[in-house]
Amino acid sequence: MVPRMKPALRRGWRDLNTVQFGMTPAHAMTLGPMDQATGDFLDLLNGTRGLALLREEARGMDLPEGHVDALVDRLARAGLVEDAKGGGPAADALRGKKEVMDRLAPDLASLSLTTSGPDDAISLLSARRSLRVQVRGAGRVGAVLAALLSGAGVGEVDVRDWGRVEPGDVAPGGLPAASVGERRDTAARRAVSAAAPGRPPRRASRTAAGGEDPGFSLVVLAPRDDVDVHAPAMAVAEPLVRSGTPHLYAGVVEATGVVGPFVLPGETGCAGCLHETRTDRDEVWPRLVAQWRSGSGPRSARPCDLALATTVAGLAAAHALAFLDGRVPSSAGARWEVSLPGLNWHARPVWPHAACPCGAAEKGKGEHTSKEEAAHETMAVQGSSEESCRKATAPRPAGTWRAHV
Ligand SMILES: [Zn+2]
């Protein structure tokens, strides 16, 4: 091990023998008692010396025998050090690509704050390069979202859409003005490539004709159509549920941005569950959806605020990355929504529904209590993979769990 104090954490002495690492309540931690000599020694933990050399340096500083090993062990258990050479062959390969590493350095530093093991951050970042994600929809939300995932190190981001780029699709970070008139999927794939110079070569598509590709770690549904955002169709999600493919919804409807639900098939509420719950609460819901879908109104440009769309793309990409890094994001079993002009984010639960064939309700049976919030928390834990229980990624404000149709 070649220990390095996590550079992401700023250091400050709270008093003569207590050090605070980090600034924000989410990640800061204090360590004490620590004498001045040990505090000075921390400067040597900068990723240039292995343990043998550090022990030698410690002897020169008159630190007691065994002090270095005990200190490094203590710092490692507190999640404050990383291994400058750790992470295995995939990490070594990534470290060998200097330009890519330089570009992703802030992302790596951020990952070092949300993980504790000395080689967790570099392992996750290098693992992203072998992942395949599909984004369906290349409008203001989808194209930006796809480029973000690619830029954040996801190895293969496949974008699907139809038609040609219209002026209203253009967005910074997504489809450029120069692409107006081109095929949407082609233009979006170019935006994905441009976001990540040096990414791994694209593998041949394994999609069988007419079938679902089993190889995607995640599918993001970012429809340009506002009805599809507000009332996602089960027919679209059904093959994903059947194949057990995790999927995430994101989009803008009217002046509301939506991220979620993140669907773990058979474990958390899906589009079908959402539809059934809304129908329970308002029996005319299916009638309304049918009218919206029939599109009898004027075919004018649908509302989609550029800043709101970009915000949705960014938040959805963060939820997607949290999942790809082994967590369950707070959009699992919930839709995060934000409306202009107030811009207060809040989450609405998407409960598993017994009438939905996805099976999430069956799995969650007996775990729900009469209290909505308690039940939701139970479900969130139940829906988590072992790895993902380490930390929730977003707070759920109390009092926002209103019934929603
Ligand atoms: Zn369902």
For the cut 70, the answer to whether the pLDDT of residue 367 exceeds it is: no
Rounded distance from Cα 341 to ligand 1 centre (Å): 32
Comparison of pLDDT for 319 and 372, the residue scoring more: 319
Q: Measured in angstroms, how far is the CA atom of residue 292 from the centroid of ligand 1? A: 22
What DSSP line would sit under 357-387, residue for residue? TT-HHHHHTT---SSHHHHHHHHHHHT--TG
Instruction: Give residues whose Cβ lies within 5 Å of ion ligand 1.
Output: 270, 272-273, 356, 358
| Helix 120-128 / helix 98-114 crossing angle, nearest 10 deg | 130
269 Cα: distance to centroid of ligand 1 (angstroms) = 5
Confidence category of residue 198, pLDDT binned at 50, 70, 90: confident
Alpha-carbon distance of 195 to 71, in angstroms, equals 41
CA–CA distance, 319 with 329 (Å, rounded to integer): 6
CA distances from 341 to 253, 325, 338 (A): 14, 33, 9
pTM: 0.87
Name the residue type at position 136.
R
What distance in angstroms lies between residue 238's CA and the mean position of ligand 1's atoms? 9
Which tokens sit at 106?
Answer: 């802030």
Beta strand extents in 273-378 (DSSP E only): 334-339, 346-349
**Tokens representing 244?**
């057990």
Domain residue spans of the chain:
3-126, 130-390
Q: How far is the CA of 345 from the centre of ligand 1 (A)?
A: 24
**Count of residues for the chain?**
405
pLDDT in tens, 263-307: 999 999 999 999 999 999 999 999 999 999 997 666 788 999 999
Q: What is the CA radius of gyration of the chain?
A: 24
Q: Which fold is adopted by the domain 130-390?
A: Rossmann fold (3.40.50)
399: pLDDT strictly greater than 90: no
pLDDT of residue 392: 39
- Of residues 266 and 199, the one with the higher pLDDT is 266
Q: How far is the CA of 378 from the centre of ligand 1 (A)?
A: 17
Neighbours of 334 (CB within 10 A): 27
Residues 6+ apart with CB under 8 A from 198: 97, 99, 100, 103
Share of the chain above pLDDT 90, in %: 80
What distance in angstroms lies between residue 263's CA and the mean position of ligand 1's atoms?
9
262 alpha carbon – ligand 1 mean position (Å): 12
Q: Are 159 and 192 in contact (CB under 8 A)?
A: yes
Q: Which of the four pLDDT bands, split at 50, 70 and 90, describes residue 91?
A: very high
SS (H, E, C) 293-350: HHCCCCCCCCCCCHHHHHHHHHHHHHHHHHHHCCCCCCCECEEEEEECCCCCCEEEEC
Q: How remote is the CA of residue 295 from the centroid of ligand 1, in Å?
A: 26
Report how far residue 305's alpha carbon sits from residue 140's, in angstroms, rounded to the nearest whole number: 9
What average pLDDT is seen over the chain? 87
Tokens matching residue 99? 């330009």
CATH number belonging to domain 3-126: 3.90.930.60
Query: pLDDT value at position 203?
Result: 64
Neighbours of 198 (CB within 10 A): 13
Contact 54, 47 (CB under 8 A): no
Task: Check if the beta carbon of residue 27 is closer than 8 Å to that of residue 113.
Answer: yes
Determine how β-strand 156-160 pairs with β-strand 256-263. unpaired
Q: Collapsing DSSP states into helix, strand and coil, what is residue 16?
A: coil
